[in-house]
């Protein structure tokens, strides 16, 4: 749940409480109403004197209780820390009233400071028991940097990317494409200087690809572009009408990108053809007709400054949950350096192939790509996997433009190539 929703919920709860208190006053005795008035007046005065107008921008911790048999296990501490981390995200403080003054050390251990001790019953002749103390406590906003705040929010929310976020996200993610070994092999040719349109093609291709993902509602994100995952549902599960629409849109995208075709150099064309034919052959030999039954992860990338926060892991887990619901497997194409990341989720390498191995114009090591497959029964989540969720996530950039090419024989396969 977002911070904004939490504050709206508390505001609504306050209104409901006031209505219930008004209705309850007709059912209480005169003494009961008198004591309620005393509690309300003293509490209001104490809050005004200690917090003043600042209370309007703070979140109140209204109720905290743990079953007797479950106390001492850290449950209450976990709940309080979750609330205070949400308020830290919003740059707000937290305050509370505790009717048990003995709980002061507990709240102080969580960063709260006792501001006032309020006494009830000290001037009530009908009350012959010990006076009732109440504590007013405050926790100011923690001074945390953005990276640590992101770590505190342990459950990143997965949502669909919006059209409005596409342009900004494209610019943020261009670094991944520029650092991609496969991209370097395909377009970093000795005659690359003859093609000045490459930076423009990359941006336009990413923009169109992700805009299409937004249209299909298949482009997932964390924090509106901090991390992205583009996937494709199993082809056999897509309705015929939607398939027709997708085919028309993909054809339009290919036509737009075709304006860059005359600028590709001879060597770039040669390597693009090598990629298409080699990847298509490997996919056909490994997965065959089964591809139509599988969900595919087509693109996974995290903004450089947001890596290591578990966002990519959250997105992958989201897709695996979807696959479990549909009783389907998941496949993807990636480079050899990110196989370990996917192995944590149960992906198995089923095939690998190389590019550039027999190309005399390529003087670097062959570029290795791997086909990974995840089966529902392979899902395992142990302590080691849980720790890995906060390890740096890989940045994978798919070369969609290559497979948008009309010459491609497997246009329904858009692999993740990093």
Specify whether 164 is located in the same domain as 128.
no
DSSP states of 285-325 as a string? HHTGGGGGG-EEEEEEEE-GGGTTSSHHHHHHHHHHHHHHH
Specify whether 143 is located in the same domain as 67.
yes
Q: How far apart are CA 60 and CA 62, in angstroms?
A: 6
Task: List the one residue out of 170, 240, 156, 229 whose CA is nearest residue 205.
Answer: 170
Q: Please identify, among 93, 121, 148, the residue that sits at the C-terminal boundary of a domain.
A: 148
Matching residue, tokens 């550039």: 356
The three-class DSSP label of residue 412 is coil
Q: Where are the alpha helices (DSSP H) in 166-265?
A: 166-178, 181-187, 198-216, 240-257
Parent domain of 282: 156-403
pLDDT digit string, tens, across residues 16-26: 667 776 676 67
Any domain includes 295: yes
pLDDT digit string, tens, across residues 106-151: 777 777 777 767 776 777 777 766 655 555 556 665 544 444 444 4
Task: Looking at mean pLDDT, say which of 105-119, 134-148, 360-374, 392-406 comes out highest.
Answer: 360-374
Specify whether 226 is located in the same domain as 250.
yes
Contacts (Cβ under 8 Å, ≥6 apart) of 311: 156, 222, 223, 226, 227, 302, 393
Residue-level pLDDT at 179: 82
CB 138 within 8 A of CB 51: yes
Any domain includes 348: yes
**What pTM value is reported for the model?**
0.59
**CATH code of residue 102:** 3.40.630.30
Count of structural domains within the chain: 2
Average pLDDT, the chain: 78
Any domain includes 408: no
Any domain includes 388: yes
Specify whether 195 is located in the same domain as 317.
yes
Specify whether 386 is located in the same domain as 336.
yes
Q: How far apart are CA 403 and CA 275, in angstroms?
A: 9
Token code pair at residue 173:
């993610």
Residue-level pLDDT at 214: 96
The three-class DSSP label of residue 96 is strand
Any domain includes 332: yes
Specify whether 213 is located in the same domain as 312.
yes
């Amino acid at each position: 749940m977002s911070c904004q929703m939490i504050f709206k919920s508390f505001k609504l709860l306050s209104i409901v409480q006031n209505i219930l208190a008004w209705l309850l006053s007709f059912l209480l005795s005169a003494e009961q109403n008198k004591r309620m008035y005393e509690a309300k007046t003293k509490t209001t005065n104490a809050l005004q004197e200690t917090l003043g107008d600042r209370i309007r921008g703070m979140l109140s911790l209204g109720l905290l209780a743990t079953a007797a048999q479950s106390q001492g296990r850290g449950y209450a501490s976990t709940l309080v820390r979750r609330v205070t981390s949400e308020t830290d995200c919003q740059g707000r403080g937290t305050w509370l009233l505790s009717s048990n003054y003995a709980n002061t050390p507990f709240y102080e251990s969580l960063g709260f400071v006792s501001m006032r001790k309020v006494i009830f019953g000290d001037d009530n002749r009908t009350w012959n028991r010990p006076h009732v103390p109440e504590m007013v406590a405050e926790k100011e906003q923690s001074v945390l940097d953005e990276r640590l705040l992101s770590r505190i929010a342990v459950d990143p929310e997965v949502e669909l990317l919006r059209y409005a976020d596409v342009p900004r996200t494209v610019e943020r993610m261009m670094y991944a494409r520029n650092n991609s070994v496969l991209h370097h092999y395909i377009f970093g040719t000795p005659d690359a200087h003859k093609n000045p349109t490459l930076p423009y093609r990359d941006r336009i291709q990413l923009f169109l690809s992700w805009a299409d993902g937004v249209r299909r509602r298949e482009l997932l994100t964390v924090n509106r572009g901090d991390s992205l995952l583009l996937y494709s549902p199993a082809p056999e599960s897509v309705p015929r009408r939607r398939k027709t629409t997708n085919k028309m849109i993909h054809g339009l995208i290919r036509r737009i990108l075709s304006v860059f075709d005359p600028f590709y150099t001879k060597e770039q064309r040669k390597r693009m053809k090598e990629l298409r034919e080699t990847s298509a052959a490997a996919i056909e030999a490994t997965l065959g007709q089964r591809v139509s039954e599988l969900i595919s992860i087509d693109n996974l990338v995290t903004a450089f400054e947001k890596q290591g926060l578990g966002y990519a892991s959250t997105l992958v887990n989201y897709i695996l949950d979807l696959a479990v619901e549909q009783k389907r497997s998941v496949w993807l194409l990636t480079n050899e350096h990110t196989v370990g990341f996917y192995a944590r989720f149960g992906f198995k390498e089923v095939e690998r192939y190389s590019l550039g191995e027999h190309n005399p114009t390529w003087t670097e090591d062959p570029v290795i790509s791997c086909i990974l497959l995840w089966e529902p029964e392979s899902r395992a989540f142990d302590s080691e996997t849980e720790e890995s969720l906060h390890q740096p996530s890989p940045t994978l950039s798919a070369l969609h433009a290559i497979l948008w090419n009309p010459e491609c024989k497997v246009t329904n396969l858009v692999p993740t190539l990093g």
